[in-house]
Structure 1
Amino acid sequence: MRKTQLVLLTLGAAFLAGFVSATPAAARDYPWCAQGGEFDYPGECAYSTYEQCLASVSGRLLYCGPNPRFAYEPAPQPQPRLHRRARPVAPY
């Protein structure tokens, strides 16, 4: 009886840990989304390339569109480079 309780407690803890750490599929940020039909906006954004998205939506009455998080996000600004001053050379 004690072993059974321990096994059930361990399985329950493992299931709960997996459930808590899982991220929803919509939270993935890939550049292309399958849109329409059963998906809300922005859709299933799980595709790295347009071709992957097209292969997935083929025959499903869906279409591919850009992920708005990628399309409308401001471009990252380059970090300014700090120029180091050259040390003056001591005369001999």
Structure 2
Amino acid sequence: MGNSEMRAVKHKVATYRFSLAAVCTGVVVSFLTLAPSAAQARDYPYCIKGEYYESGTGDCSFDTYQQCLATASGRRAYCDVNPFYRFPEDGPTAYPDMRRNFRR
């Protein structure tokens, strides 16, 4: 094998490695961008649940209990606290809307 042939083979190998690395990086970035993460489910404190939601936690995309109630209004749905959300640890004022619903 001549010197020019050896350079051509090395160039092809380097091109192949670069292409493979680019494809792998693209796949990883696509996966991380498109795949829902567990943190997304924990961003909001309230979830809507009902027959339209197959997952056990429902749709947890509500900042306030009132937002959730407005969405659930007129549907076979109800609102609940997101089981994965960490409320601030400041006693009974942490979620006053839910406290009001459980008074006797």
* TM-score after normalising by structure 2: 0.45
* Higher share in helix: 2
